[in-house]
Chain A
Amino acid sequence: MIKKILPYLLLIPTFVIIALFIYYPAYESFSSSFYRISVFGNRKIFVGFQNYLNLFQDKDYINAISFTVVYTSITVVASIFISFFLALLLDQKVPGARIYRTLIFAPYAVSHAVAGALWSFLLNPVVGHVNYLSRILFGIQTQWLTTRPYAAYSLFFASIWKTLPFNVIFYLAALQSISSEVIEASIIDGASSWTRVWKVVFPLVSPITFYLVIMSIISSMFQSFAIIDVMTKGGPGGYTTNMIYKLFMDGFRFQKTGLAAAENVILFLIMMVVTVIYFTFAQKKVHYQ
């Protein structure tokens, strides 16, 4: 009898914490999305689906959705491929490989906000290093953070730079676990290094790619507001506002709790659909050893 109950008893603390800090807030946010809520939350009116209707009639929100799609796909695809190649390079036995590794992992240690601030300094049109160099070398000056389309380019670049190390660490670990026999066999069979990378190595690390893609999507959909807030403030003219930044503005700058909750639910639904589709289709291509 005790043996049967014991596992559940041991699980209780975890369940309590999950229920308190995940399920309850999630439920609150879901129910809030059907209300208009005053600034301090002391008055609320039930409005049904009005918050959702308002959002989908709002041109700015539609723009935010499309920018989210562009931003997420570019940063995720670029960061996956670049990190795979960087990991391949770092896996080589070259002198000083450890130093390179440390340098490449460094961005992982800084927060999104700090990364944004760093790039803001570098891209500052007047005293920034990027413009200083481009002025000396090519005689051109660009307003990186305040003009179209450069604001978006700067943001892509900084976000990729920020998410890269995390992916590199995982790829590197995966690469080091590939047995040398497989590689040797492919060399003996006469595969070129290009074929070897794509037909042998990449499929072997596919479980990691599978994991990293979903993690990167989550990170760029849910954690990018800090970097956007620091670098572009969603501008110019709402051009670099994505869904999570819009949510942050509506929820924490304009105190429209109900509307922000609705945005939250929409994000949740999108993420759920993406995950389900991804798991059904992509998992078939994943090769587990």
Chain B
Amino acid sequence: MKKILVFVVLVFTILSFAKTKIQFWHAMGGWRIEVIQNMVNEFMKLNPDIEVEVQYVGSYEEILAKTVAAVQAGTPPHVVQLNEISTQKMVDSGVIVPVQDLVDKDPSFDVGLFLPQVLNYYRVGGKIYSMPWNTSTPLLYYNKSLFKEVGLDPNNPPRTYSELIEACKKLVKKDDKGNIIRTGITWPLYAWFFEQYMALQNQPLVDNNNGRTAKATKVVFNNQAALNFMNLWNTLTKEGLMINTKRADWTAARQLFISQTVGMLISSTSDVALLINESAKQGFELGTAFLPLPDGTARGGVIVGGGSLWIIKQKNPAEVDAAWKLVKYLAEPEPQIIWHKSTGYFPIRVDAIQKLQVQGYYKDNPHHLTAILQLLTSVQNYNTNGAIIGAFPEVRNAIDTATEKMISGTLTPKQALDEAEKNANKAIKEYF
């Protein structure tokens, strides 16, 4: 009898020391792997009963593909970071625990402190499905030193398309053989910028209020607003004022700007920290500005991009609780501030921004401020909340493919829009 008692006690002690193990998959490569690991280590110190395995899995697409495989194999990861365009797909998936359900059960968590601009994106039908986390918008970066060199006002970056074209023309430099060795601008060939320019002109991308009042049934971008942007892209390319990179090659676009081959770059705010460092190394002065608008249009706003954290359903409820604790922690002001400072992704909470403001952070870091101001001054409506579409990756693919055909001279901007519309609609119809 005594032996059995000792045994039972022993089993209980072991069980009470047993840690809940959870997996966290993210898509943040480079120096950010370490930043995230440190944040998670901090979390594990505060929660000694939880062990988090952090894994950098690759791109967002890679994470989604691997999550699908893992769920089907019956060994789902607990927390996965997916990009914003996976939102509708994951809402429809039936394999996730909506964050709203956990928020409702947890009185210690106040959603009211989050930036409405960010929450509005991730709220589908009044419900938050995933925890917004790394949030960014596009920003215009420019080389102040080059601006001075060619006689442009470094404190007056282009605000309209015509000013942008003028600035690009001035930045062009040719060698004695007539080859262009420096030119105006670049941005990654990625439909995200197309979507942003629709929102900036206060236009929706798809019907049913950008898919937010009912599921989107077709795209509605084949109009003047989109044509403005495509015409700009086409003109800049044809006149040698812009260098186009391979599809979704953000690194190549940054590289062109860092090597001072182009004077301006439109890229994500998540590049702020990196570009501040690199510009200092290369010895030029960095400037940041809001995105230039087509002449004569009113400014709508920018859409938040980036990623959010999804909690996948588990057999063991304790693991879901542990996952929620981790997700909640990563959205707290302190980790958010660390994340913001080391990357440029926004803090997603008002209290984090206030804290930074009080510390005088934005006085010393004007580029981080530009990034936030562009978001905060955005008009809030369905157009700027961003579209949600199940077949979003295919829609982006349709736009990218048509764009590639336009810049290689096979299609005119109008034809490119027609083709993108046709293929995007087909993808939306086929989504299942």
Contact = CB atoms under 8 A, between A and B. Distances in A.
Contacts, number: 88
A40 B179 contact: no
Contacts of B92: 38-39
B244 A254 contact: no
B72 A41 contact: yes
A273 to B, nearest CB: 29
A239 B72 CA distance: 34
Interface residues of B, number: 39
Contact of A146 (B93, B245, B259, B427): B245
Given A146-B246, A253-B61, A237 B68 contact: no
Contacts of B244: 143, 146
B94 A42 contact: yes
A139 B179 contact: yes
A19 B407 CA distance: 49
A233 B59 CA distance: 14
B252 interface: yes
Instruction: Give the secondary structure class of B's interface.
Output: helix
A99 to B, nearest CB: 35
Nearest to B61: A253
Given A127-B259, A232-B246, A236-B405, A43 B393 contact: no
Interface in B242-262: 243-248, 252, 255-256, 259, 261
Contacts of A145: 246
B432 A253 contact: no
Interface string A209-240: 00000000000000000000000110111110
Contact of B65 (A37, A124, A141, A252): A252
A38 B402 CA distance: 27
Contact of B68 (A40, A135, A140): A40
Contacts of A148: 408, 410
Contact of A236 (B94, B248, B391, B404): B404
B255 A127 contact: yes
Contact of B261 (A43, A126, A140, A237): A126
B408 A147 contact: yes
B394 A237 contact: no
B246 A40 contact: no
B95 interface: yes
Contacts of B256: 126
Interface string A139-169: 1110101111000000000000000000000
A125 interface: yes
A36 interface: yes
A122 B262 CA distance: 20
Contacts of A253: 61, 65, 393, 397
A29 interface: no
Interface residues of A, number: 37
Contact of A237 (B61, B391, B402): B402
A124 B410 contact: no
A39 B246 contact: no
A36 B432 contact: yes
A254 B95 contact: no
Contacts of A239: 408
Interface string B382-397: 0000000001011001
B394 A254 contact: yes
Contacts of B252: 124, 126
Contacts of B65: 252-253, 255
Contact of B259 (A126, A141, A236): A126
B255 A233 contact: no
Nearest to A147: B408
B235 interface: no
A29 to B, nearest CB: 14
Interface in A219-276: 232-233, 235-239, 249, 252-256
A40 B243 contact: no
Q: Top 9 closest A-B pairs, CB basis?
A: A237-B405, A236-B404, A237-B404, A139-B177, A233-B247, A252-B65, A236-B408, A235-B404, A40-B93
23 contacts: A37-B432, A39-B89, A39-B92, A39-B93, A40-B71, A40-B93, A40-B95, A41-B68, A126-B261, A135-B179, A139-B179, A145-B246, A146-B404, A233-B248, A235-B400, A236-B405, A236-B407, A237-B404, A237-B408, A237-B410, A238-B401, A253-B65, A254-B427
